[in-house]
Amino acid sequence: MPKEKLSIVKIGGNIIEDDASLKSFLKLFSVLEGKKILVHGGGKRATSIASKLGIESKMINGRRITDAETLEVITMVYGGLVNKNIVAQLQALHIDAIGLTGADANSIYSEKRPVKDVDYGFVGDVKKVNHLSVEKLIQSGFTPVFCAITHDGQGQLLNTNADTITSQVAIGMSKFYETAIYYCFELNGVLKDINDKDSVIKHINLVSYSNLLKEGIIADGMLPKLENCFEALKNGVQTINMGNTSMLTKENDNFTRITL
């Protein structure tokens, strides 16, 4: 029997920060057919609230250092303010959403990142997704909304990259479903020329990916994103899509589709 489809959609900070963008995205998400999961971060909001509280946000190579104070802010912002706001708006759109951290229903287990060159503090690397717990929620009619927090099974919450949570949840759920990931951000997709927003590369597979790497077209922040993508595809995920939120509609085909 063919597996049922499951869409796992991740939204970035620029959508979360702008009320109008968030509203229009949630409308699109609410009419997306079939079973679905939403994953969100909230780094920009966390930075702004931390500074109001007099807590300095420390970044190294674009990654946040999560000390004990910062973890408190992240837990309040990701798990509280942002997550519950999204859940409430989805309820208004008749989606029975349930907001989660990885600690809820023991759904995502992580280990604290070991200190090598940099001590990132309370940052977690995902080790296991409890797909049976997530499946129970989906089968009960709920739409899970995960924020970027996991736990270590010893009572410690950990700040965790939302892209990684997305791909690991998709890998875990591919035991039950034909899973597709949608990474929604402000660009139309992976671009051939960063200065031309219409130069979308419509399809990337392993062969074209290695050519794009050689040509230096894929670099910087796009590198870990795409490495993540191919790891997910090699572990059971069917397709990965990258682009702006309109790729969730049937009308828009101007985005990047990534397959093996």
Structure confidence by residue, pLDDT tens digits, 1-26: 788 999 999 998 889 989 999 999 99
Q: Which CATH number do you get for residue 90?
A: 3.40.1160.10
Tens of pLDDT, residue by residue over 110-139, are 999 999 989 999 999 999 999 999 999 999
Distance separating alpha carbons of residues 241 and 258, to the nearest angstrom: 6
Domain that holds residue 156: 5-258
Residue 225's pLDDT is 82
Q: d(Cα 162, Cα 150) in Å, to the nearest integer?
A: 10
What does residue 103 show for φ and ψ, rounded to 5 degrees?
-75, -30
Domain count, the chain: 1
Residues in contact with 18: Cβ distance below 8 Å, sequence separation at least 6, in sequence order: none
- Report pLDDT digits (tens) over 208-252: 999 998 888 887 778 878 888 999 999 999 999 999 999 998 888
Backbone angles phi, psi at 84, to 5 degrees: -70, -30
Which of 81, 124, 123, 84 minimizes the C-alpha distance to 100?
Answer: 84
By the 8 A CB rule, do 157 and 133 touch?
A: no
